[in-house]
Amino acid sequence: MTQPGTMPAMTKEMQDCVDACMTCHSVCEETMSSVMQLGGQAQMQVMRALMDCAETTRVCADMMMRRSPLSPEMCAMCAKACEMCAEACLSVPDDPQMTRCAEACRRCAATCRAMAGATM
């Protein structure tokens, strides 16, 4: 039991999720430059997914680190944004950066889904 005014310790699962969110955020940011170089109308959908995922993962990690009571809901939304981004990235075939991004998004989605079901 924690003392009044102190936050509970971050569990390994929470730390793993924060780490996955921050990794995913970084990879999405890096991938945006690749998409800008590709151009084309279809890439606008990929860019939107990357932007949504990058922002959602950053906010999700921030909320978990400060033990926000809204973290479970944010984790659920983050998992959804990550899955959408992974699908968008995989729509660009044979691109190693897109594949790397999709993998980071899927890993993050899995940890966020687990945290969304957990009580924080």
Q: 36 in a domain, yes or no? A: no
User: Does residue 20 sit within a domain?
Assistant: yes
| Count: domains in the chain | 1
Q: What is the CA angle 54-106-25, rounded to 5?
A: 20
Instruction: Indicate whether 6 belongs to any domain.
Output: no
Give the domain extent around 107: 12-30+43-116
4 found inside a domain: no
93 assigned to some structural domain: yes
In a domain, 7, yes or no: no
Q: From residue 10, give the alpha-carbon distance in Å to each of 24, 67, 80, 86.
A: 20, 8, 23, 27
What is the pLDDT tens value at each position of the chain, 120 positions in all?
Answer: 445 556 667 899 999 999 999 999 999 999 998 888 877 766 888 999 999 999 999 999 999 999 999 999 999 999 999 999 999 999 988 899 999 999 999 999 999 999 998 654
CATH at 47: 1.20.1270.360
